[in-house]
A and B are shown apart, each in its own frame.
Chain A
């Protein structure tokens, strides 16, 4: 946007796609330099790197959802989670010492699961950067890494939660967990009422990523795999792509 067209004297105008935001940070330059060196030295190929990136960016929070659902159903498993969460993760197929499956351990091995009660609600943040239990929850959401969330959650937790649509009564203790060192944290929410006879799979579906960060509560009927659809308020009449048709396709 900052790029303006100035016709040159010789008429040969320089043309390029100007970025709308800050170009590139020093750390990104460093990463590219190290990566290119590693490729030149044959440590891995560019395609290996791309495949790893594709994999790491596709890891989602499903493992965390399974952990919560299993802990809700199985009290003995929950006790093991509270005793040694890294060890208990192996029972749901997550090995923190080798989450990638090819010799890349998690950089930190101290996981603690924070159990909510009707009078205690946990929320996680990293005020320093973006520390997050990645083997369980995948990559953190973009907002989790913003300075806005990191600064304000510690200072104005209830206001920030309200911005996420979560308003808690004053008698509930809101406990912010700042993962500023080597522990990683995940929230074990309270199992919602009306889910008594649900299967583990049904329960896992309502434990979305945000519930395990603590900015939302699990609710019946609110699952991660059903995408909200905003219907057009004034759909174009007679169009093959009218709001009605588009809506049906998505459902």
Chain B
């Protein structure tokens, strides 16, 4: 259940964070090995970093209760029209969260 030391809200971008708020990123389309929380509906889609949230164990390790690799997490904002081509409302968005390993930079 609860981890012994839950991470506190990280409000400033840590020195090790690769991306910053406003950066364009693409969600990698990696194979699912055993466990992930990176949803299929955002794979390969370009979004914008909306927040650098905290650093924590990646789900791929945490699922097996190991002392896993710790990474920066990001909330990424996607345009609905980029996720579903026939989506009708220009302004609508979706935000999901990902650890850094799932994101790659996109040249503007």
Where the two chains meet, the residues of A that have a C-beta atom closer than 8 Å to any C-beta of B are: 83-86, 97, 104-112, 127-128, 154-155, 157-158, 170-183
Q: Does B53 sit within 8 A of A, measured CB to CB?
A: yes
Given contacts A104-B2, A109-B6, A176-B94, contact A183 B53 (CB under 8 A): yes
The digit string for B28-55, where 1 denotes a CB below 8 A from any CB of A, is 0000000001110100000000010110
What bracket does the count of chain B residues touching chain A fall in?
A: 20 to 34
The closest CB in chain A to the CB of B40 belongs to: A127
Inter-chain pairs besides A108-B6, A127-B41, A176-B94, 5 sampled, C-beta below 8 Å: A154-B41, A170-B91, A178-B95, A182-B7, A183-B73
Given contacts A107-B1, A107-B2, contact A128 B91 (CB under 8 A): no
Cβ A177 vs Cβ B1 within 8 A? no
The distance in angstroms between the C-alpha atoms of A177 and B75, with both chains bound, is 9
Contact of B95 among A109, A158, A171, A175 (CB under 8 A): A175
Cβ A181 vs Cβ B59 within 8 A? yes
Q: Does B66 sit within 8 A of A, measured CB to CB?
A: no
The distance in angstroms between the C-alpha atoms of A182 and B37, with both chains bound, is 10
Given contacts A105-B2, A106-B2, A112-B51, contact A180 B9 (CB under 8 A): no
Given contacts A177-B95, A182-B97, contact A109 B7 (CB under 8 A): yes
Cβ A173 vs Cβ B93 within 8 A? yes
30 CB < 8 A contacts A-B: A84-B11, A85-B9, A86-B8, A106-B2, A106-B6, A107-B2, A108-B6, A109-B6, A112-B9, A128-B39, A155-B41, A158-B89, A172-B91, A173-B93, A174-B92, A175-B92, A176-B94, A177-B94, A178-B39, A178-B94, A178-B95, A180-B38, A180-B97, A181-B59, A181-B99, A182-B53, A182-B73, A182-B97, A183-B73, A183-B75
The closest CB in chain B to the CB of A174 belongs to: B92
List the A side residues contacting B53 at CB < 8 Å.
Answer: 110, 112, 181-183
The distance in angstroms between the C-alpha atoms of A108 and B80, with both chains bound, is 28
Cβ A180 vs Cβ B92 within 8 A? no
